[in-house]
Each structure stands twice: as structure tokens, then as C-alpha cells.
């Protein structure tokens, strides 16, 4: 997508909306729901996984910030991969990013169904999932401004919830409060078989799930093409990721580990809900359930938004169906949004067939999409830096710190996450062995695209 293509979009997202999306837009079910099962699996050492993934996420965001200021684009990853790596990379990264959000959306829809099932156990999960999808589709098709406003309030609810939890949780820890039959405090980090109760290897195995919790932090790059004054807004939003990661992600997991001993958490319930129920305040547990429901809706909302723009960028180059590139009178790429929504319906089917395994399967596949997207951004930033050193382009003032060493370190970490997926069990292993199939599909797709281009270019 070139600069002319960006002008097809409206500059409807305000700095206020972009800032809040950057702060809270990525806080989804990976943290609110997934942390419970991983705390039960790895114990307090889950904190280490969140810290490592957070550091990688920070460098990815700084790389993205440099790329966005070099050229703001609503086709973000496709545009940069095409320019700095090659046309094939634009095609591959675009479809991998779409896969990432498609599977993430299915996971979020599944989470919505799980949360509502807690209140309405007689309603099948697939019915709730379908209803939620219908509402979010309507919001995304109406206008960018409506999406931005809804996402602003979704994000605000999540941020306020985390802040309240951090304040209350810190107070409980400092006062050594009684939570059920246990006492809150730092001793819970080392009691019950120590900081690594299941061993360091199990801690490493949680990296795949934890990196999914950070999925969406790069959304600010997608919003750049529809942002008023990206040169001012984007650096501010990117820099906010530092304290957001430290406080919201690492801070939350640290408090969860100190409030309740790790064996009391489970994969079927949000750890935040677990804490308040054990406090003997079930009503607060219901409030937290409503908040994590909001988080799931928010992430799914973001997925529809971002994939619509990515698919339009691909369609513009003939690398996606023509329908995916269509815009409506509100300057919304409705074709791409409907295309993604049709895949989200598969999530409804998955909830009907295997409701208990749906979340784990989709998050594992989504994690591969996260890793590939982050790696693409790092490589593009490294290529931008090399082009600047050759005098071909000018780097913006807002640059990735420590480049290229931090870039290589981040790529090494992402490779480790992929390798570890092969040694995991269950859903993670399914995702790992699906990678060759995904690559084969991409190769075939690229060959089909090129052959179609050749036929069009040859005069009859």
C-alpha cells in the first residue's frame, strides 16, 4: 500500500483514541484468562516468561515506531515487508498476520462464550459466540470513528480494572491479608516447591502462551494511516509500551503469584476471578468476569479492524481476492472485514464441536502468527537501517535503541519460542506441526498470484 492508498482512509482516529488503544488495546484473554492455567503449570516462575516476552515486545514496538515514522501506512506490515524484504515477503507477512488475527479472533470469541457460560450455563457456547460476532461486525462496518470510540472505552475499562486490581492486590499483600485459607505475601513466590515448582524447562514452555498474551501491541502501527498527526502521536504511544508492559503484564502476574498460592489457579477460570472468589466476595468475581468479557470483545474488535486493512493492502497488489479490497461509503474496507468474519464463523463451529479445546488450539496457532509478525517488523527495521547507512533513505529521529544488536537478540528469542513449541504437548505441538502446511499454502498462493499477473501482463 503506497501513500496514495493511505489517503483513501479517513483520519478519524484521534490522539486520545490511539493513546488508549496503545495502552489497553492489547490486554486480552491471554492475560485475563490464559494466565490462570499457566500459573498452575509453571508456578511463580511464569513471571520470568512475562518479563522476557515483555522485553522482546518492547524492541518490536520500537522497531515498528521507526518504520511508521518513516512511512505511515494502514497496510503497515505488508507495506514494510514488500519494500525492505521483497514482494513475496509482503504477500507472506500479510497473510500470516491475517492468520494471526483470524485465530486470535476465534480464541477471543471462544473466551466470550466461556465467560457468558459462567452466568448462563444453559446457553450453548456457540450461540453466545455467534451473537458477539454479529455485534462487533456491525460496529466495524459502520465507521472508523465508531470503532475508535468503542475501542477507547473497551480499553479504558480494561486499564481501570487492572489499576484497581493492582492497588487492591498491593494492599492485600502489604497487609498479609487472609485469602481463603491462605495468606497473601511475597512468601507465596517461594513456598509450595519454590519459584520453579515444575522446573525451568516448564517455565520456558510457557513462552508460547505468554507471547500470545502480548498479541496486539503492534496495533498502533495499523492505526497510523488513519491517525491525525502520526509523527506526534505514534512515538508517544510506542513509548507508553514500556510502563504498560512493566505494570500491567509483569505487575499483574507478580501480584497474582503473591496473593494466592499457584496450585489454586486453573485454566478454566480467570485468575483475577479466582482471587476475588477466594476473598469471599463473589459479586466482585462477577464484576471481574464482566471486565474480562470486555477484554475479549475488545481484542476481537481490534482483529476485525486490522485484518480489514491488511487484506485491502494485499488486494491492492492482486495478492488477495478483489472483494477483500472493497471500501464502503464510510471509507471502511468492508470486503476484508467480511472475509475475516467468515473465518470467525469457524470459531463458532469449533465451539460447537470441541468447546473445551477450542481456546488452547486457536491460541497456539495464533502464537505462531505473533512470532512471524514480530520477526518481520524486526527484519524490516534492520533493512531500513542498512538502507540508511548506504544513503538510500533517511531514518527518522525516533529509532530502535541498540540496533542492530537488539534486533538480532529479539530474533533469536523468537526463534527459541518456535523451537520450544515443537517440544510442547497438546495444542502447542499441533500448531508447530501445522507450520510446514502453512508455508506450503503460502508458496502455492504466491505462485498462483505470479501466474495470474503474468497472464494479465501478456497482451492478447
Residue 48 falls inside a structural domain: yes
Residue 456 falls inside a structural domain: no
Residue 458 falls inside a structural domain: no
pLDDT digits (tens, 9 = 90+) for 428-457: 787 888 889 999 999 999 999 888 877 765
Residue 425 falls inside a structural domain: yes
Rounded to whole angstroms, how far apart are CA atoms 341 and 328?
Answer: 16
Nearest CA-CA partner of 314 in 82, 105, 147: 82
More confident call, 261 vs 5: 261
pLDDT bucket at 386, cuts 50 / 70 / 90: very high
Helix axes 76-84, 46-70, angle to 10 degrees: 70
Q: Which cell numbers in the block locate residue 28? A: 486480552
Rounded to whole angstroms, how far apart are CA atoms 306 and 404?
Answer: 28
φ/ψ of 260, rounded to 5, equals -135, 135
Residue 344 falls inside a structural domain: yes
Helix axes 125-142, 282-316, angle to 10 degrees: 50
**Structural domain boundaries, residue 274:** 3-449
- What pLDDT does residue 400 have? 92
- What pLDDT does residue 460 have? 45
Q: Which cell numbers in the block locate residue 67? A: 518504520
Q: Tell me what percent of the residues of the chain surpass a pLDDT of 90.
A: 28
Instruction: Fill in the DSSP letter of residue 245.
Output: I
Average pLDDT, rounded, for the chain: 83
pLDDT digits (tens, 9 = 90+) for 225-239: 566 677 777 787 777
In angstroms, what is the C-alpha Rg of the chain?
22
Number of domains in the chain: 1
Q: Tell me what percent of the residues of the chain surpass a pLDDT of 70.
A: 87
φ/ψ of 267, rounded to 5, equals -75, -20
Mean pLDDT across 396-412: 93
- Is the pLDDT at 3 greater than 50? The verdict is no
φ/ψ of 179, rounded to 5, equals -120, 100
Residue 410 falls inside a structural domain: yes
- CATH number for position 262: 1.20.1740.10
pLDDT digits (tens, 9 = 90+) for 50-84: 999 999 998 998 998 899 888 876 556 778 898 99
Residue 273 falls inside a structural domain: yes
Residue 116 falls inside a structural domain: yes
Q: What are the angstrom distances between the C-alpha of 108 and each of 34, 129, 351, 429?
A: 11, 9, 11, 21
Amino acid at each position: 500500500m503506497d501513500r496514495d492508498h493511505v489517503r483513501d482512509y479517513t483520519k478519524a482516529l484521534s490522539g486520545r483514541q490511539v493513546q488508549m488503544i496503545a495502552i489497553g488495546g492489547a490486554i486480552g484473554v491471554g492475560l485475563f484468562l490464559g494466565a490462570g492455567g499457566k500459573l498452575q503449570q509453571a508456578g511463580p516462575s511464569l513471571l520470568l516468561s512475562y518479563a522476557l516476552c515483555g522485553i522482546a515486545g518492547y524492541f518490536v514496538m520500537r522497531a515498528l515506531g521507526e518504520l511508521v515514522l518513516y512511512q505511515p501506512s494502514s497496510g503497515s506490515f505488508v507495506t514494510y515487508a514488500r519494500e525492505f524484504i521483497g514482494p513475496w515477503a509482503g504477500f507472506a507477512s500479510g497473510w500470516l498476520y491475517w492468520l494471526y488475527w483470524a485465530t486470535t479472533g476465534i480464541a477471543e470469541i471462544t473466551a466470550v462464550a466461556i465467560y457468558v457460560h459462567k452466568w448462563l450455563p444453559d446457553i450453548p457456547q456457540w450461540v453466545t459466540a455467534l451473537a458477539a460476532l454479529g455485534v462487533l461486525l456491525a460496529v466495524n462496518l459502520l465507521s472508523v470513528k465508531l470503532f475508535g470510540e468503542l475501542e477507547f472505552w473497551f480499553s479504558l475499562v480494561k486499564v481501570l480494572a487492572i489499576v484497581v486490581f493492582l492497588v487492591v492486590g498491593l494492599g492485600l499483600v502489604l497487609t498479609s491479608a487472609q485469602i481463603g485459607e491462605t495468606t497473601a505475601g511475597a512468601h507465596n513466590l517461594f513456598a509450595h516447591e519454590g519459584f520453579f515448582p515444575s522446573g525451568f524447562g516448564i517455565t520456558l514452555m510457557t513462552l508460547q502462551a505468554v507471547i500470545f498474551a502480548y498479541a496486539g501491541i503492534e496495533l498502533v502501527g495499523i492505526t497510523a494511516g488513519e491517525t491525525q498527526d502520526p509523527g506526534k502521536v505514534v512515538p508517544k504511544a510506542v513509548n507508553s509500551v514500556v510502563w504498560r508492559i512493566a505494570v500491567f503484564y509483569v505487575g499483574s502476574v507478580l501480584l497474582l503469584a503473591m496473593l494466592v498460592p499457584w496450585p489454586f489457579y486453573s485454566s478454566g477460570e480467570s485468575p483475577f476471578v479466582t482471587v476475588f472468589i477466594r476473598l469471599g466476595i463473589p459479586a466482585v468475581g462477577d464484576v471481574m468476569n464482566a471486565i474480562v468479557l470486555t477484554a475479549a470483545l475488545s481484542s476481537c474488535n481490534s482483529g476485525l479492524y486490522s485484518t480489514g486493512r491488511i487484506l485491502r493492502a494485499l488486494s491492492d497488489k492482486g495478492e488477495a481476492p478483489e472483494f477483500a479490497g472493497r471500501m464502503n461509503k464510510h471509507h471502511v474496507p468492508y470486503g476484508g472485514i467480511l472475509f475475516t468474519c467468515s473465518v470467525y464463523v469457524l470459531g463458532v463451529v469449533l465451539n460447537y464441536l470441541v468447546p473445551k479445546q477450542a481456546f488452547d488450539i486457536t491460541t497456539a496457532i495464533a502464537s505462531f502468527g505473533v512470532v512471524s509478525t514480530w520477526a518481520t517488523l524486526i527484519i524490516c527495521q534492520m533493512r531500513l537501517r542498512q538502507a540508511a547507512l548506504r544513503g538510500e533513505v533517511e531514518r527518522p529521529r525516533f529509532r530502535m535503541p541498540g540496533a542492530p544488536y537488539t534486533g538480532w537478540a529479539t530474533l533469536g528469542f523468537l526463534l527459541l519460542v518456535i523451537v520450544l513449541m515443537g517440544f510442547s504437548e497438546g495444542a502447542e505441538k499441533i500448531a508447530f506441526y501445522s507450520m510446514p502446511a502453512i508455508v506450503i499454502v503460502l508458496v502455492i498462493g504466491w505462485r498462483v498470484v505470479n501466474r495470474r499477473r503474468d497472464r494479465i501482463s501478456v497482451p492478447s
